[in-house]
Amino acid sequence: MGRGPMLEGLPGVHPALILTLGAVAVALSPRRSRPWLFVVAAALAGLATLGLTDGTTWNYDFYGVELTPLRVDRLSLAFAYVFSIALVAGGVFGMRTMGALERPSTLMYAASAFGVVFAGDLVTLFFFWELKVAGSALLIFARRSPASAGAGMRYLFVSLAGGIVLLGGIGWWITQTGSITFGDLGLDGGASALILVGFLISAAAVPLHAWMPDAYPASTVAGTVFLAAFTSKAAIYALARGFPGTNLLIWVGVVMALWGVVFALAVNDTRRMLVYSSVSQGGFMVAAIGVGSALAIDGAVSHAFAHIVYKGLLLMAIGAVLWATGHTRLTRLHGLGKVLPWVAVLYMVGALSIGGIPLLSGFVAKEMSALAIDDNGFGVAYWLLKLASVGTLLVVVFRLPWFTFVTQRTTAAEHTSVADHTALRQRVPASMYVAMVALACVNVVIGVWPNLLYRLLPNEGGSYEPFTAYRVTNSLALAVGALAAFWVGRRWLAGRPISVRDTDWFYRDLPRRLAPTWNRIRMPDVAIRLPELPRTPVWVSTLWVSGVVVVGVLVTLLAVGMLA
Nearer to other proteins, 303 or 399 (CB): 399
Position 480 contacts other proteins (CB under 8 A): yes
Beta-bridge partner residues of 58: 70
Which burial class, exposed, middle or buried, applies to 482 when counting CB atoms under 10 A from its CB (0-12, 13-18, 19+)? buried
Query: Smallest distance from the beta carbon of 250 to other proteins, in angstroms?
Result: 19
Instruction: Return left, alpha or beta for 314; rule: phi > 0 is left, psi -120 to 50 is alpha, else beta.
Output: alpha
User: Alpha-carbon torsion 492, 494, 496, 500, what sign?
Assistant: positive
- Which of 26, 25, 72, 66 lies closest to 49 in space, CA to CA? 72
Q: Could you give the CA distance from residue 228 to residue 275 in angstroms, rounded to a whole number?
A: 8
Position 483 contacts other proteins (CB under 8 A): yes
Position 316 contacts other proteins (CB under 8 A): no
Candidates 59, 417, 426, 451: give the one binding other proteins (CB under 8 A). Answer: 426
List CB contacts of 73: < 8 A, sequence separation 6 or more.
Answer: 2, 54, 55, 458
Segment interacting with other proteins, rule: CB under 8 A, options 89-97, 108-116, 177-185, 286-294: 89-97
Please report, for residues 151, 185, 295, 381, 539, the alpha-carbon distance to residue 471 in angstroms, rounded to integers and kept in the order given: 41, 35, 16, 18, 54
Q: Could you give the CA distance from residue 553 to residue 211 in angstroms, rounded to a whole number?
A: 23
Position 407 contacts other proteins (CB under 8 A): no
Is 246 strand, coil or helix?
coil
Candidates 6, 43, 101, 545: give the one binding other proteins (CB under 8 A). Answer: 101
Position 419 contacts other proteins (CB under 8 A): no
Candidates 97, 231, 376, 443: give the one binding other proteins (CB under 8 A). Answer: 97
Query: Smallest distance from the beta carbon of 233 to other proteins, in angstroms?
Result: 25
Q: What's the farthest any 2 CA atoms get from each other in the chain?
A: 78
- By CB under 8 A, what part of segment 189-218 binds other proteins? none
Position 35 contacts other proteins (CB under 8 A): yes
Nearer to other proteins, 529 or 535 (CB): 535
Position 31 contacts other proteins (CB under 8 A): yes
- By CB under 8 A, what part of segment 222-281 binds other proteins? 261-266, 268-269
Query: Residue 441: phi, psi to the nearest 5?
Result: -65, -40
Q: Are strands 65-71 and 57-62 parallel, antiparallel or unpaired?
A: antiparallel
Segment interacting with other proteins, rule: CB under 8 A, options 144-152, 208-216, 373-381, 442-450: 144-152
Position 410 contacts other proteins (CB under 8 A): no
Q: What mask, x for binding other proteins by CB under 8 A, covers residues 45 to 84?
A: ----------------------------------------
Position 513 contacts other proteins (CB under 8 A): no
Nearer to other proteins, 100 or 248 (CB): 100
Position 5 contacts other proteins (CB under 8 A): no
Directed axis angle between helix 430-448 and helix 341-354, to 10°? Answer: 30
Nearer to other proteins, 81 or 211 (CB): 211
User: Alpha-carbon torsion 380, 384, 390, 393, what sign?
Assistant: negative
Position 387 contacts other proteins (CB under 8 A): yes
